[in-house]
Amino acid sequence: MPTFAAIDLGSNSCRLKIAKVVAHQLRTVAEDREVTRLGASVFESGLISPEAMANTLRALKRFQRAVQTHGVEKIRVVATAAMRDARNGPAFQAWVKAETGWNLETISGLEEGRLIHLGVMAGGGTGPGTGVGGRLLLIDLGGGSCEITLSEHKRIKETISVPLGAVRLTEEFLSEDPAPAEGLARMRRWIGKELRRAHRRIQPVSVRLVIATSGTAAALTDACIAGSKSASGQVGRLAGIVPTGEVRRLATKLAKMTLPEREAVPGIGPRRAEIIVAGTQVYAELLESFGLKGFRYSELGLRDGILAQMLAEQDARATAHKEFEHERWESVLATARRYGVDLKRAEPVRAHAVQLFKELRALHQMPPEYESWLAAAAMLHDTGKFINHQGHHRHTQYIVSSSEVYGYTQVQRTTVSAIARYLGKSRPQPGDRALRNIPADEHKHVHRAVVLLRLAVALNQDRASDVLRVRAKVYPKRVYLELEPGRTGAELELWSLRKEAGYFREVFGRELFATLV
């Protein structure tokens, strides 16, 4: 049974979750959390402070001991808003790599929202009986940003990331304690401006449930429960919903308190008290501006989404596998459409690339995941023409590596972009920009995938003809591609394939012959 680990380096805290795969489902075996304030100085100076780096690295080393104890086979470490904004982020990434051996990946706000949504959906929302189907809104208020996602029948309809994190706002507007009236007013105007931008993208009509994740939502829920208990003499969970009116009441109350007074509020706690004023103001403004009745807290979040994606990628029998593959491919198609790719012309290239991957598997020996990466490269290889037909392969590499393609990590997108890059006269060379951020031991696989894509493109030279049928036969010293000519023949395709024979021999060490049958 494989064991996975996910680490979320947020702007306020870093979290670890370790899960074992049991009967094609995830079972949590360990969790840990540490408040490190990675983003405390970023939102003011643009730099992660040495102290925050050291605190975060100490937490990561503790996490590493847990990872080793539980025999984790695969780990993914992601960072969010603080690392997105920090000018010295690459230096911290290098430090983490040197001390732990882990690759720290900085994800975009949209990818963060997608993974949070995946984690909540895969985990069943907020528990048995609550349901996550229908139309709902997800809110994740972190230290540096707030992700707002509209979901319908467990599918994302729209997501947006706004710079309304609790640490960011506290550093920017609330430098005194208790919160100064002028700073509060400026902060509320800023929150309103960003929420108006969110309103243009997200219209939560007929939303049946609002789910909030992360620490501020947990603190608000606990404070609300504690207040209900003290008022009525019993624990009142408010049917699991924190009402908007109660959030506004808490926001007004907390804003008038000093730090020691906030620390004494049941449910808040000493570390959360430092940033809770900003966090409650965001929730109050957001719920009121969207006309929402309240929210339900969920313990699930980003790390759960990371684990769910790991399971979906690794286990074809897992429930989430087909859904994950579908969403990822829909994102590839959406990217292709955005840049004017003719999908009817790109589809035969994809089909031939996948066919060659399967029929030449014994020859190329690429890992299984390269099949989907090759297919994505085939669909996206003409995106560069959106910028300019001349040198469009270079433009393709830039577009694909820089685009939001859901379900692909930055390294995976870079790999797809490199496969699509070398379809002209150029060949992959050591030190190329397209290969710079791909692990060195993957370069040979990229070279082989490039060859297969070039062959697939060669098989689709004559756009006017019907799609050719091809069979690949592998022998110890040569490979034959047998073509069944279409209605208009296959002379152009034969000529194009024979032009690739030299590069094929260079990469695979075998002769390539293209013949008609």
pLDDT tens digit sequence for 451-497: 999 999 999 986 555 678 999 999 999 999 999 887 777 888 999 99
Question: Rg of the chain's alpha carbons, rounded to an integer?
Answer: 26
Given a cut of 50, whether residue 232 has pLDDT beyond it is no
Closest CA to 216 of 164, 148, 142, 289: 142
Cβ–Cβ under 8 Å, residues 453 and 419: yes
Q: Where are the domains of the chain?
A: 3-107+304-309, 124-299, 316-516
Q: Which amino acid is at 158?
A: E
What percentage of the chain carries pLDDT values higher than 90? Answer: 69
Per-range mean pLDDT, top range of 228-232, 327-331, 424-428: 327-331
Token pair in block for residue 33 = 């959390």
Q: For the domain 316-516, what is the CATH code?
A: 1.10.3210.10
Cβ–Cβ under 8 Å, residues 438 and 411: yes
pLDDT of 242: 92
Contacts of residue 268, Cβ cutoff 8 Å, sequence gap at least 6: 219, 222, 223, 254, 262, 276
Cβ–Cβ under 8 Å, residues 230 and 265: no
pLDDT of 230: 53
CATH class assigned to 3-107+304-309: alpha beta
Tens of pLDDT, residue by residue over 395-407, are 999 999 988 888 8
pLDDT of 124: 65
Q: How far apart are CA 34 and CA 26, in angstroms?
A: 23
Token pair in block for residue 499 = 């032009």
Token pair in block for residue 410 = 């930055």
Q: How far is CA 133 from CA 126, 156, 206, 242, in A?
A: 12, 12, 13, 20
- Beta strands 74-79 and 104-106, pairing class: parallel
Starting at the earlier edge strand, list the strands of the sheet with 74-79.
Answer: 25-35, 13-22, 3-9, 74-79, 104-106
Average pLDDT in the 148-174 region? 92
270 — phi, psi (to 5°)?
Answer: -65, -40
Burial of 233 (0-12, 13-18, 19+ CB in 10 A): exposed
Same fold: 3-107+304-309 with 124-299:
yes
Starting at the earlier edge strand, list the strands of the sheet with 155-162.
Answer: 155-162, 146-152, 135-141, 209-213, 294-297, 242-243
> C-alpha 311: how far from its chain's center?
15
Cβ–Cβ under 8 Å, residues 275 and 167: yes
Cβ–Cβ under 8 Å, residues 517 and 490: no
- Beta strands 13-22 and 25-35, pairing class: antiparallel
pLDDT of 175: 86
User: 213 has which bridge partners?
Assistant: 140
Give the pLDDT band of residue 437 (cuts 50, 70, 90).
confident
Contacts of residues 355-361 at CB distance under 8 Å and 24 or more positions apart, as own/partner, are 355/470, 355/472, 356/452, 356/455, 356/456, 356/470, 356/472, 357/452, 359/471, 359/472, 359/474, 360/452, 360/472, 360/474, 360/479
Cβ–Cβ under 8 Å, residues 424 and 451: no
pLDDT of 399: 94
Cα end-to-end distance, the chain, whole Å:
48
Q: How far apart are CA 224 and CA 238, in angstroms?
A: 9
The count of other CB atoms within 10 Å of the CB of residue 482 is: 14
> Of 229-243, 267-281, 321-335, 432-446, where does mean pLDDT reach its minimum?
229-243
CATH architecture, range 124-299:
2-Layer Sandwich (3.30)
Given a cut of 90, whether residue 210 has pLDDT beyond it is yes
The count of other CB atoms within 10 Å of the CB of residue 433 is: 12
Token pair in block for residue 204 = 């939560």
Is the link from the previous residue into 270 a cis peptide, with omega within 30 of 0? Answer: no
- 3-class SS at 10? coil
Burial of 226 (0-12, 13-18, 19+ CB in 10 A): middle
Average pLDDT in the 380-386 region? 94
Q: How far apart are CA 283 and CA 139, in angstroms?
A: 9
Taking the model in full, what pTM does it have?
A: 0.81
What percentage of the chain carries pLDDT values higher than 70? Answer: 94
Average pLDDT in the 194-209 region? 88
Q: Which amino acid is at 83?
A: M
